[in-house]
Amino acid sequence: MSIFPKPLVQRAELLLDDTRKAKLKIAVAESCTGGLISALFTEIPGSSDVFERGFIVYSNDAKRDMLGVPGDLIADMGAVSEPVARTMAEGALNHSRAHLSVSVTGVAGPGGGTPMKPVGMVHFGAARRGRNITHEVHEFGPLEREEIRMKSVEVALILLASMI
């Protein structure tokens, strides 16, 4: 039995199939989702030929150490920001053999929100080697933590699909 809703698993299966047909590999950089995207991909048998690796970079130190996000960028803009999301997506490509990447950084709550970065605000970066990095920001509030995280997984899949 899956911890993920069936439609989400089916969407991930289609994404993996499309990525496989395009002969591409995926890497993910996850902060507020804490590995849910990686867990979804690895729940699907045979995903290892497409899902290259996942970076769970929940702390700012992890973002710096594993993805090369500059500490001054995090200090100046905050971890939940467009520049950090873009740099995370780029770092996932630079530190892997993947062709596509997606990054997720946000405030899943229930605490930690501010007027400028409320609970439910999530920034996404999506990258493909040789192309510009894209960015989206979504505000999923007011939802519960689990719902924000699952909605973030869904958006990440859509962004990856758009990069194929």
* Domain CATH for 119: 3.90.950.20
pLDDT tens-digit series, residues 123-141: 999 999 999 999 999 999 8
- The least confident of 14-18, 28-32, 112-116 is 112-116
Does 55 fall in a domain? yes
Residue with tokens 């698993």: 9
Does 122 fall in a domain? yes
Number of domains in the chain: 1
Does 31 fall in a domain? yes
Does 42 fall in a domain? yes
pLDDT tens-digit series, residues 69-126: 999 999 999 999 999 999 999 999 999 999 999 999 999 999 999 999 999 999 999 9
Instruction: For 28-64, give one letter per residue: b (16+ CB within 10 A) or e.
Output: bbbbbbeebbbbbbeebeebeebbbbbbbbeebeebb
Does 115 fall in a domain? yes
pTM value is 0.97
Residue 155 CA, chain-centre distance (Å), reads: 9
The boundaries of the domain holding residue 16 are 6-163
Alpha-carbon span 117 to 66, nearest angstrom: 24
Query: Across residues 19-40, what is the average pLDDT?
Result: 98
Does 1 fall in a domain? no
E-strand ranges in the chain read 26-30, 51-56, 100-106, 121-128, 134-139
Determine the pLDDT at residue 150.
97
Does 30 fall in a domain? yes
CA-wise closest residue to 57 among 77, 87, 16, 20:
87
Does 120 fall in a domain? yes
Q: Which two tokens stand for residue 29?
A: 């950089």
